[in-house]
A and B are shown apart, each in its own frame.
Chain A
Amino acid sequence: MNTVEQTPGYTLNAPLALGVFAHHGIVVVGDTSATAEAGMDIQDSIHQCALAITNVRGSAAPVIAAAAINPQPLLGVGGVRHLLRENPRAVYTETITLSIGLRDYQARHLASALDIPEEHWTGFIRVAQQLYESHLSSDALYSEINPLVLTNTGIFTAHSGVIQIDPHARFRQPLLTFADPPSDVPKPPTMTHVPLHPGGALACIVNSAGLGMATLDMVAHHGGTTAHFVDVGSGLLTEKIPYAYRLVAAQSGVKSVLMNYFCGVTWCTDVAHVLVTTLKAAPPHFAVVVRIVGFDEDDGRAMLADAQIPQVYIERNLSNAVRQATELARSWQI
């Protein structure tokens, strides 16, 4: 079993997820006290398990996974995914070919592996199929019923669960309106701020995730530690560059800021113009090392140099820029 899909999806929590499951015909019991009143005490059930469907990174085939709950304690929500990662042998899985769909025999394999009594296999197969339909129609990356309880009256009931929805399906998936974004979604959108070592002296602002990670690695290579990492991404740099700068400037302890911009299709002069305006509007009380390369880079660097903003150093070579910023983070006196 390869890595479970872990792109943070938008999460539909238990009540909403159960609503979606119910829409696909699964019997849901959200409130355990009601369950008890109806004589369907979880403790008194025939069988309990957790059932999930997950997309797998790098694979076109989703996986259905089931784990027994008795006699182990209840797994928390997301428990199947956790088990897949930590203890894959405790989970039974079947890989689904999309064009063929989830077949009865696959669900039967799971039912058998889970030791569900044979007379209830048909019921289990139906729930598995319904979960699969729900997974597809909600553009889910991950769907889980947990626990799935076979009551002593012989009915499979979903008591809790979760659905994580693919944010890329935004344009067609009404359920996303009700979903909670992942906790690390950047604000404003398309910009990422990762506080790595709050209180530290060096911050990096970059315009790409890959370049950003490489920059962090180089800082570490030169013996430094990055306290804050901001990726402004592409587009709308006139808004994002000043925002990133203000964000970093507001962090306590920052002594040196490394700005590393590779301008592939944007112009270095455009970026330089925004930088000059930003830095002049709020002159830095720390050192700023700007490294811009790419389209029209000589003019871009010249614009920055001409602006003669105190505390701003301009570099062309990435290694030199990293070395300088790291050194300044150590020596700068505020």
Chain B
Amino acid sequence: MTILVNKQTRVIVQGITGREGSFYTEQMIAYGTNVVGGVTPSKGGEWGVRGRPIFDSVRKAVETTEANASLIAVTAPHAIDAIYEAIDAGIRLIVCITEGVPMLDIMRLSEHLARTGTRLIGANCPGVLTPSESSVGMIPGYIGRAGVVGVVSRSNTLMCEIVYDMTKHYIGQTTLVGIGGDPLVGTNYVDVLEMFEEDHDTEKVLLIGEIGGRMELDAAEYIASHMTKPVIAYIAGKSAPPGVRMGHPGAFIDSAEETATYKIEALRAAGARVAETPAEVIDLLK
């Protein structure tokens, strides 16, 4: 068992004929992901990347292929509608890699997600990778290796850096979840920690966090009150000055609670082991 995606996950790609959509579909299929088709309105009936069927609507795609997960790879103005369409068609796992979805739209969507029991990863996220089984999104497959460590991160590249290093040291992973760096995302650290806590294959969890926001502090509270599995953490941005945006829309210190130091202390107090550098993560995981 792993979390969110595995070999059985039947994935469609909304926006399969677009630049990003076709690129990542190709990568996902090459990795072995069970991509069963794609959706591009007005191109229904055609054949897309590696012969995958294209449908006009998610409903038709689901009827025909029994898809149960969708990757949203459409442009920002269309992303929110694509998410609603997927929910309406009965898809309950949606990964949205599109960058630039307005916060108001995600706020409005939140209630609908809860009401319908839909899991949204992102928006503006790298996606989910279960090594040797399935990749939904843009996490490069070669960085991972099947194993027992569950990984959750806001940053994509930093996660790639650390996980690739783990893999080189033969430390494998159950599932990697990139939740995205926007100020409001569909799935946060606590949601993923909960899933890893319940997953039989996951023995340890690696949480990669950064400055800005309170999400890591919520995670610390959850770790203290609910986690029985060991949590190893790394928080980037100890040397980031306050008030300066470090690239991610959410990586911005505005109060003392949002600094790396504060978060590290909170996580340590909650019982997590916190690495000082990315390289030290490996030592703590061994």
Q: Does A226 reach chain B (CB closer than 8 Å)?
A: yes
Q: Is the CB of B278 within 8 A of A264?
A: no
C-alpha spacing A59/B138, complex, angstroms: 26
Q: Does A212 reach chain B (CB closer than 8 Å)?
A: yes
Q: Does B250 reach chain A (CB closer than 8 Å)?
A: yes
A214, A221, A319: which has the most chain B beta carbons within 10 Å?
A214
Q: Is the CB of B214 within 8 A of A3?
A: yes
B254 to chain A, nearest CB (A): 4
Question: B158-185 vs A: 1/0 string, CB under 8 Å?
Answer: 1111001100000000000000010110
Contacts of B278 in A (CB 8 A): 214, 218, 318
Categorize the interface residue count of chain B.
35 or more
Which of the 9-residue segments B2-10, B48-56, B197-205, B232-240 touches chain A? B232-240
B73 to chain A, nearest CB (A): 13
Of residues 134 through 171 on chain B, the ones whose CB sits less than 8 Å from some CB of chain A are 138-140, 142-143, 153-161, 164-165
Q: Does A294 reach chain B (CB closer than 8 Å)?
A: yes
Q: Does B213 reach chain A (CB closer than 8 Å)?
A: yes
Q: Does A5 reach chain B (CB closer than 8 Å)?
A: yes
Q: Does A6 reach chain B (CB closer than 8 Å)?
A: yes
Q: Does A34 reach chain B (CB closer than 8 Å)?
A: no
Q: Is the CB of B156 within 8 A of A210?
A: yes
A205 to chain B, nearest CB (A): 12
Q: Is the CB of A219 within 8 A of B239?
A: yes
Which of the 9-residue segments B34-42, B60-68, B99-107, B220-228 touches chain A? B99-107
Given the interface contacts A3-B254, A295-B140, does A8 sit within 8 Å of B107 by beta carbon?
no
Q: Is the CB of B155 within 8 A of A209?
A: yes
C-alpha spacing A192/B111, complex, angstroms: 34
Contact of B250 among A57, A59, A166 (CB under 8 A): A57
Of residues 183 through 201 on chain B, the ones whose CB sits less than 8 Å from some CB of chain A are 183-184, 188
Given the interface contacts A166-B103, A166-B104, does A59 sit within 8 Å of B156 by beta carbon?
no
Contacts of B101 in A (CB 8 A): 168
| A5 nearest CB neighbor, chain B only | B183
Q: Does B85 reach chain A (CB closer than 8 Å)?
A: no
Q: Does A99 reach chain B (CB closer than 8 Å)?
A: yes
Q: Does A247 reach chain B (CB closer than 8 Å)?
A: no
Q: Is the CB of A139 within 8 A of B102?
A: yes
Q: Does B215 reach chain A (CB closer than 8 Å)?
A: yes
B166 to chain A, nearest CB (A): 13
Which of the 9-residue segments A13-21, A108-116, A169-177, A304-312 touches chain B? A169-177
Q: Does A27 reach chain B (CB closer than 8 Å)?
A: no
C-alpha spacing A77/B103, complex, angstroms: 23
Given the interface contacts A168-B100, A169-B102, does A7 sit within 8 Å of B183 by beta carbon?
yes
C-alpha spacing A172/B248, complex, angstroms: 22
Question: A208-243 vs B: 1/0 string, CB under 8 Å?
Answer: 111111101111110000100101010000000000
A9 to chain B, nearest CB (A): 10
Given the interface contacts A217-B239, A262-B157, does A60 sit within 8 Å of B110 by beta carbon?
yes
| B252 nearest CB neighbor, chain A only | A6
C-alpha spacing A99/B108, complex, angstroms: 7
| B279 nearest CB neighbor, chain A only | A319
Q: Does B76 reach chain A (CB closer than 8 Å)?
A: yes
Q: Does A4 reach chain B (CB closer than 8 Å)?
A: yes
C-alpha spacing A214/B160, complex, angstroms: 13
Q: Is the CB of B258 within 8 A of A212?
A: no
Contacts of A295 in B (CB 8 A): 140, 142
| B113 nearest CB neighbor, chain A only | A60
B29 to chain A, nearest CB (A): 15
Contact of A264 among B111, B143, B165 (CB under 8 A): B143
Contacts of A226 in B (CB 8 A): 239
Q: Is the CB of B107 within 8 A of A4?
A: no
Contacts of B102 in A (CB 8 A): 139, 166, 168-169, 172
Q: Does A265 reach chain B (CB closer than 8 Å)?
A: yes
Q: Does B1 reach chain A (CB closer than 8 Å)?
A: no
Contacts of B111 in A (CB 8 A): 60, 97-99
C-alpha spacing A295/B30, complex, angstroms: 15
C-alpha spacing A213/B212, complex, angstroms: 12
Q: Does B128 reach chain A (CB closer than 8 Å)?
A: no
Q: Does B251 reach chain A (CB closer than 8 Å)?
A: yes
Contact of A98 among B107, B208, B213 (CB under 8 A): B107
Q: Is the CB of B158 within 8 A of A214?
A: yes
Q: Does A196 reach chain B (CB closer than 8 Å)?
A: yes
A174 to chain B, nearest CB (A): 14
Across the A-B interface, the 10 shortest Cβ-Cβ residue pairs: A210-B155, A209-B247, A208-B157, A210-B158, A60-B110, A213-B236, A213-B237, A6-B254, A60-B107, A169-B102
Listed in ascending order, the chain B residues whose CB lies under 8 Å from chain A are 23, 27, 76-77, 100-104, 106-111, 138-140, 142-143, 153-161, 164-165, 181, 183-184, 188, 208, 210-215, 218, 234, 236-241, 244-252, 254-255, 257-258, 260, 276-279
Q: List 26 A-B contacts (CB under 8 A).
A: A3-B214, A4-B254, A8-B245, A55-B107, A57-B213, A60-B184, A139-B102, A166-B104, A168-B101, A196-B241, A209-B181, A209-B247, A209-B248, A210-B155, A210-B210, A213-B211, A213-B239, A214-B158, A220-B239, A262-B161, A264-B140, A264-B156, A264-B160, A318-B165, A318-B278, A319-B279
